[in-house]
Amino acid sequence: MASEPDAAPVRVAFRLRVKPDMLDEYMRRHDPVWPEMLEEIAASGRRNYSIFHVGGGELVGFYETDDDAASQAYLAASEVAARWEAEMAPFFVAQEGRADQNAQTFPEVFHLESQLRAARARD
């Protein structure tokens, strides 16, 4: 989905599960993430990117982008991302393929700023 000028970014929430016995090592490898991988994520158009541990090895992540399909395609073609995802693959429970391409995503239900903007436009 291409972004029009002043269009709101696409907000993506996702979930992954890490093997609980590997969680400490997974977290260690994210502090810090390889600098070249950080640059690839940014170059893909993803921003405001966070991953949260919600307990028991379950991770919930969030990022914004102007075009999620283009972001995914960029990372799918990235040699750096392929190396990172290969290193991370053993940590995940029941993950088909690369996590950056196949994580379970969720529809957005509510976004404060979008609803405020719409409500103020009606006034």
- Catalytic residues, by residue number, are 30
Q: Helix, strand, coil % (nearest 5) of the chain? A: 45, 25, 30
Contact 28, 88 (CB under 8 A): no
> In Å, how far are 33, 70, 85, 112 from 39, measured between CA atoms?
10, 16, 15, 29
